[in-house]
Structure 1
Amino acid sequence: MSIETLKTDDGQVTIWMDGPAWDDHPKVATVGKCKFTSATAGARLLAEAVALAKSKGATALIGPMEGDTWHAYRLISARGDQPPFLMEPSSADHDEAAFKTSGFDVISSYFSASAPLSALPGPKPKDTDVFTIEPWDGTDPDALFTQVYDLSCAAFAHNPFYKHIDLTDFLAMYQPVVPLLKQELILFARDSTGALVGFLFGIPNYAEGPEPRSVILKTYASAQKGAGHWLSYQFYVNAKAMGFETVIHALMHDDNLSAIRSGLNGADVFRRYALMGRAL
């Protein structure tokens, strides 16, 4: 993988030449790790990134994205008043202007929302014998995340901007958060053979300190109809029993089912994000 970093006195960016697919562009690069002192400085650096990517054969450039959607991507397009939460992307207020000035447009939009757990979980889903829901047993985190990896690759393969990642790289991303994990907030759906057909990954919002009052519903995926509803229901039940007061529905695409379900659960949007792109 070809990676290059551009630095000046007023900022820096890193370019990954082997980016994910985007529309019908034959060779997509990404630009991330963006640090600008101003929109003007950012636009200058991004113009250099565009020229470099084009000279290397790229036909499109998207960002902010650190190579793929498994790693940090998106900028904050509407900050709101709520403080940052754990594992949330960060960007300066002038970053979006820097991208737009250098010819980028919004190509995908996302949001985070919060809801009081006092109003959840809502009606219990219908009982089923197609799958069962169980929490992580707290042992062997590598085995845990290997299962999550396998289902994630299958569930997300058709998502926009998807790019495959090796298991070793996937495990390296999650190993730093293992000490922060709570068994009750990591849930599996298994069919009658024991095969994994869904998972939900939640984590306390330690950005609030050692005793957070909010909990983050970070990711879930399902290969079985109804499993996602059951996973989220059990997550809310467990989170309430643990004393959390608020749930954060983190980093949802504007158009996906999670966004619809978040709205049905009475969640209020508090932050918006954008992914930017331009043809070269």
Structure 2
Amino acid sequence: MIEIKEVRPNSKEMQDFLALPKTLYQPTFLTQSETEEKAQLLGEHELSSYYQLEALVAYKEGRPTARLAIIGYPKENKAYIGYFEAQNDWQTVRKLFETVKAKVRAQGKTHLVGPVNASFWLGYRMKLDHFDQPPFTGEPTGLAFYPKLWQRAGFQLSETYGSVFYRRVPLDDHQGRLEKRYHQFLSKGYTILSPKPNDWTRVSAQVFRLLSTLYADFPLYHAISEDSFKELFAPYRYILDFSMVKLAYKDDQLVGFLITLPDYGNLVYQKKHPINLLKLLKIRKKAKRYLILYLGVAPDHLGLGSALTYPIYQEIKARKALAVGALIHQGKITEHYAPTLKADNHHYGLFEMIL
């Protein structure tokens, strides 16, 4: 027998919702933030006021087999599916999605989109390949059968993304185009620098204002307040290596940023006991791999992305580290930086269903 149950605060269903991922993934592949999920289920997350979230757990013969959350934004005809996890059981997943479709149709929604963990700001996309490789920090995870389950349920791939894995930079490598761009912008009066950790609150506000303009046309983008952004990104102060963050100013205005994060694997999702904190500090000091996560350039400063990339490229080369251009919307120019150094690609997708 298959049952679909709604998750109520502090209920058995809530416990089962939070416990299910741990039964599906090996420890090195588990990227669940139980703190984030619990806050979502209780309606206490920093972003909870922006949307309505309803969580469901599917049971087969009394055992939790699949879960997801339905997310709806006011005055929007799309509903989003996030926090999806499931065993490879088509009958259970089919009934779960049928329940979802009935619920969102009753709300007047005409499209289902996912995976979206409630918000653009928290994580979205489904992994499409390389399921045998442990995730880098922030990489979407999933099981190899998820894309087929969603497609069988009637979803179609609507957006694609990729991560570019770069091989270690030879010490004699020379990226002349990047270097040329860097010196061109310096000669035009631009300042490119790394912020100090104590400046993160002020700098993150500047980044937010520029990012909000640049990302406004991205799929799934929903505006949030500056205070919400600061709250979400405050923990970055403790995991960023600020020498690997570059900001570009022209006439005292922030016009570009490149935020590179040490790759902590799934360590950032684990409990913050002393041993894990020491591991984080060690990686932050000298990582084996860096993730190029956020790159933004104001429209009137085209080419600045290459200039921002150059000092990061130099740092990575000097540290003999690896790098990943992470989670790039396919078709963006950043896919083509340093093409001679590319070693591999991971792919991700966003799925949509018209009801």
Report the CA distance between 1:161 and its aligned residue.
Answer: 2.8
The C-alpha deviation readout for 1:65-120, integer Å capped at 9, x for no partner, is: 02332221111111255421011111122211221111100001111121124156
Is 1:172 paired with 2:231?
Answer: yes
CA–CA distance in 2 between the matches of 1:154 and 1:252? 18
Q: Which has the higher contact order (CA 8 A, sep 6+)?
A: 1
Counterpart in the other structure of 1:109? 160
SS at match of 1:206: coil
TM-score by length of 2: 0.72
Counterpart in the other structure of 1:96? 147
CA–CA distance in 1 between the matches of 2:335 and 2:311? 18
Counterpart in the other structure of 1:278? 353
The C-alpha deviation readout for 1:224-247, integer Å capped at 9, x for no partner, is: 112111111111112333x24211
Is 1:231 paired with 2:281?
Answer: no
CA–CA distance in 1 between the matches of 2:213 and 2:180? 25
Counterpart in the other structure of 1:23? none
Specify which of 336, 346, 353 is matched with residue 260 of structure 1.
336
Counterpart amino acid of residue 222 in structure 1: V
Is 1:142 paired with 2:201?
Answer: yes
Counterpart amino acid of residue 81 in structure 2: V
Specify which of 60, 71, 74 is matched with residue 16 of structure 1.
71
**Structure 1 residues 65, 204: CA separation in 2 closer, same or farther (over 3 Å shift)?**
same
The answer to whether the 8 A contact 2:190-2:249 is kept is yes
Counterpart in the other structure of 2:288? 213
The answer to whether the 8 A contact 2:291-2:323 is kept is yes
Report the CA distance between 1:2 and its aligned residue.
Answer: 1.6
CA–CA distance in 2 between the matches of 1:198 and 1:121? 23
Report the CA distance between 1:265 and its aligned residue.
Answer: 4.5
**Structure 1 residues 64, 213: CA separation in 2 closer, same or farther (over 3 Å shift)?**
same
- Structure number with bigger Rg: 2
CA–CA distance in 1 between the matches of 2:227 and 2:83? 22
Report the CA distance between 1:19 and its aligned residue.
Answer: 8.1
Which structure's residues are more often strand, by fraction? 1
Counterpart in the other structure of 1:200? 258
Counterpart in the other structure of 1:122? 175
The C-alpha deviation readout for 1:19-63, integer Å capped at 9, x for no partner, is: 89xxxxx61110000011125133332222222111111110100
Structure 1 unaligned regions, length at least 5 = 21-25
- Give the total of aligned pairs: 272
SS at match of 1:85: coil
Compute the RMSD of aligned alpha carbons: 2.1
Counterpart amino acid of residue 354 in structure 2: A
Stretch of structure 1 that moved more, 41-50 or 245-254: 41-50
TM-score by length of 1: 0.90
Counterpart in the other structure of 1:59? 110
CA–CA distance in 2 between the matches of 1:75 and 1:197? 31
**Structure 1 residues 100, 39: CA separation in 2 closer, same or farther (over 3 Å shift)?**
farther
Specify which of 324, 336, 350 is matched with residue 248 of structure 1.
324
**Structure 1 residues 58, 130: CA separation in 2 closer, same or farther (over 3 Å shift)?**
farther
Taking only the aligned residue pairs, the percentage that are identical comes to 22
**Structure 1 residues 51, 79: CA separation in 2 closer, same or farther (over 3 Å shift)?**
farther
The answer to whether the 8 A contact 2:70-2:100 is kept is yes
